[in-house]
Chain A
Amino acid sequence: MNAENTGPAPILRHQHLLGIEGLSPSEINALLDLADKYVELNRQIDKKQDILRGRTQINLFFEASTRTQSSFELAGKRLGADVMNMSVTSSSVKKGETVVDTAMTLNAMHPDILVVRHHAAGAVELLSQKVRCAVVNGGDGSHEHPTQALLDALTIRRRKGNIQGLTVAICGDILHSRVARSNILLLNALGARVRIIAPTTLLPGAADRLGVEVFTNMESGLEGCDIVMMLRLQLERMNGSYVPSTREYFHLFGLDEEKLALAKPDALVMHPGPINRGIEIDSLVADGLKSVIHEQVEMGVAVRMAVLEALARNLPGGGNG
């Protein structure tokens, strides 16, 4: 078929983007290269493309989200897709429909791309097995959040030029964090040295098997870092369950200027948001010159455009399908 032979080259080998695990460094770099172009596009007055014209994208969120959902929505719309948001809140779940039933119902509507967030690890993969369209993991439980890791990588790459050889400290609730897992996989794949810093109660039992250096003390963990990536601590995990209190957590693990001074002078501060001011990060640092937190949000839209385009290329009629 002529149209397929002249189509753009494939970026991803797979139909879905379920995690960073399974992506090769060249796939990651190709996504980041494409995202770079979309960063420029998004800064123009006319941001509209027609790459996804005629395509239907459904954002299926089983877990509440503001920034990820709006970022995916904007990304799809800028590429010309018809975007529908479905929030399957806990009350809908009470009606008894299983994830698989929801997936098959949606599949019957012929979407092209499904962006799914679910509170249970593995739920997105389960759903992907029941649909014919491309599925993007928008975060599944404590497992993976691949577009977050990609946008973090894009932010770092644009600021530092390269990821290879950088020392990146990921600090906070590693145990429950899908952001941490995806970032560790991606940063290791691109040759960064990754450290994780948390009280043992917020570390997975086999943390040392992740290919990272493990620290339980911020001061020693931050020394000489190029990137300090803070994680959000959920409120229900404070007050005596995983950590004694918010004030103790801030005292020992909150990123303030004093602790940040131990990192390299040109270190960058990152946070996937939403931030807890005065719990994991001091306002002076969050709003300071080293913070690239808002840049991460900007990169998020560009990275998601790149992901949507890459997956669309593999769809039937997408040039590589």
Chain B
Amino acid sequence: MAPTLTQPLSDERRLLVNARLVDPANRRDEAGGIAIENGLIADIGPHIKAGTARGSEVHDCKGRIAIPGIVDMQVTTGEPGHEHRETLASASEAAAAGGVTTFCCQPDTDPVIDDIALVDFILRRARDTALVRVQPMAALTKGLGGAEMTELGLLQQAGAVAVTDGRHGVANSLVLRRAMAYARDLDLLIIQNPQDNDLASDGVMHEGEVSMRLGLPGIPAAAEVMMLERDMRLVQLTGARYHAAQISCAPSATVIARAKDLGLPVTCGVSVNHLTLNENDIGPYRTFHKMSPPLRPEDDRQAMVAALADGTIDVVVSSHDPQDPDTKRRPFIEAAYGANGLETLLPAMLSLVHNEDLTLARAVEVLSMAPAKLLGLRAGTLSPGAPADIAIIDPTATWVVSTADMRSRSKNTPFEDRRFEGRVVKTYVAGRVVFQHDGP
């Protein structure tokens, strides 16, 4: 198990009562309460009521839903290097407000997290400044250069939960084959953002009718599918544990489904953006909707939702990528990729639940239990003995996304002015309240 320096235990005892407990890991969906001791869940169930344990502070959940805290596998911060966009501290505040109790920061920082000293730096900064748990991912190749593998064994021992070249898919098949073979010996998870950059070329959005009408260079869906198909061959060759960070189009889901049928150790994720937005949302060149992979046509979005529901897709990420006006208030072609997302991840997922595209249990599973399991983290469940990382959500509260209320240092949300139904009202990490929504 990777060492974690974050979040010392507190010896406070709390009772969360009068909640609807939703815990997919234990197939639990019932009214009840949670007893917290020493930062861990001591007991859970319908028998937990106010007065169950004397000397405990009682929190009345007023019938709202208690879920395991969200584990977000893909969060980019600006620390180190671009702290004006986001620090671990500011990202953790945004995370807490979004019910995210653990996030994995990406290695595409400045300097790149490709050395054990930088993994250690992240863990220490997170311990000293962050409200939630932070698990660093390390680079797969030195300097994200795609040419030489990093010290995978030492990085793993230092606490990296997975290795990835972040936004850069590894293009060189030989480099990836060797890195996969080496990672397999260590049982280390390799995460790839599949996109053939030669084919994607100078494209800035999905290649299709919309890109044609906007006069923007396109990225064909094949750029994603091709690399994913190649990677499946390499997984077959090496036996490495492989996770596609994000897929975005229907053929990619088919590739993953086929690999799973073959019994390959393959999983994949999707960003909440690709579940709830499509290329038409770009409208009049909205740069906040410029992201990688690009937003796809509505058919692909629906295919992503279906693949998530049927288990082809394993996890959902926010793909939080804070950008400032310097990089976003530009012509679409020149604007940076990336969308802010920690605070809107859960509300956007709840919109799928309200549409009955997804059950609440499945939504919670792909946000908490599934990523925790993939990364080997003690998280994502409300089982006794697990860390008391809990989000309390009000599924019906309506609100409008306003950048003024966002905790993230960057405001590049694709959901600005969107009316959501459902929000996080309280977040616990190790039994302590790290976020509380003030208001009705």
Q: Footprint of B on A, CB under 8 Å?
A: 199-201, 216-217, 239-245, 247-248, 251-252
Q: Are A240 and B142 in contact (CB under 8 A)?
A: yes
Q: Are B153 and A239 in contact (CB under 8 A)?
A: no
Q: Are A200 and B181 in contact (CB under 8 A)?
A: yes
Query: Which of the residues B153, B181, B184 comes within 8 Å of A244, measured between beta carbons?
Result: B153
Bound CA span A243–B151, Å: 8
Instruction: Please classify the interface of chain A as helix (H, G, I), strand (E, B), loop, or mixed, using the class held by over half of its residues.
Output: loop
Q: Are A247 and B185 in contact (CB under 8 A)?
A: no
Query: Which of the residues B150, B178, B184 comes within 8 Å of A242, measured between beta carbons?
Result: B178
Q: Are A241 and B148 in contact (CB under 8 A)?
A: yes
User: Is B154's beta carbon under 8 Å from chain A?
Assistant: yes
Query: Which of the residues B147, B154, B185 comes within 8 Å of A199, measured between beta carbons?
Result: B185
Q: Which residues between 224 and 253 of chain B lie within 8 Å of chain A, taking CB atoms?
A: 238
Q: Are A244 and B238 in contact (CB under 8 A)?
A: no
User: Is B346's beta carbon under 8 Å from chain A?
Assistant: no
Q: Are B184 and A247 in contact (CB under 8 A)?
A: no
Given contacts A240-B141, A240-B142, contact A199 B181 (CB under 8 A): yes
- Across chains A and B, the number of contacting residue pairs, with CB separation under 8 Å, is 43
Q: Are A247 and B151 in contact (CB under 8 A)?
A: yes
Other A-B contacts than A247-B151, A248-B153, 7 sampled, CB-CB below 8 A, are A199-B182, A200-B182, A200-B184, A201-B181, A244-B148, A244-B149, A251-B153
Q: Are B185 and A216 in contact (CB under 8 A)?
A: yes
Q: Are B154 and A247 in contact (CB under 8 A)?
A: yes
Q: Are A244 and B150 in contact (CB under 8 A)?
A: yes
Please name all residues of chain A whose beta carbon is closer than 8 Å to the beta carbon of B152 when the two chains form the complex.
244, 248
Instruction: Please classify the interface of chain B as helix (H, G, I), strand (E, B), loop, or mixed, using the class held by over half of its residues.
Output: helix
Given contacts A216-B185, A240-B141, contact A248 B154 (CB under 8 A): yes
Q: Are B153 and A240 in contact (CB under 8 A)?
A: no
Please name all residues of chain A whose beta carbon is closer than 8 Å to the beta carbon of B151 when the two chains form the complex.
244-245, 247-248
Bound CA span A252–B185, Å: 11
Taking CB as reference atom, which chain A residue is nearest B152? A244
Q: Which residues between 123 and 162 of chain B lie within 8 Å of chain A, taking CB atoms?
A: 141-142, 147-154
Given contacts A240-B141, A247-B154, contact A217 B185 (CB under 8 A): yes
Please name all residues of chain A whose beta carbon is closer than 8 Å to the beta carbon of B142 when the two chains form the complex.
240
Please name all residues of chain A whose beta carbon is closer than 8 Å to the beta carbon of B181 when the two chains form the complex.
199-201
Please name all residues of chain A whose beta carbon is closer than 8 Å to the beta carbon of B185 when the two chains form the complex.
199-200, 216-217
CB distance from A257 to the nearest CB of B (A): 20
Please name all residues of chain B whose beta carbon is closer than 8 Å to the beta carbon of A240 when the two chains form the complex.
141-142, 147-150
Please name all residues of chain A whose beta carbon is closer than 8 Å to the beta carbon of B149 when the two chains form the complex.
240-241, 244
Bound CA span A216–B148, Å: 20
CB distance from A252 to the nearest CB of B (A): 5
Bound CA span A200–B149, Å: 14
22 cross-chain CB contacts under 8 A: A199-B181, A199-B182, A200-B184, A200-B238, A201-B178, A201-B182, A217-B185, A240-B142, A240-B147, A240-B148, A240-B150, A241-B148, A242-B178, A243-B182, A244-B148, A244-B149, A244-B150, A244-B152, A244-B182, A247-B151, A247-B154, A248-B154
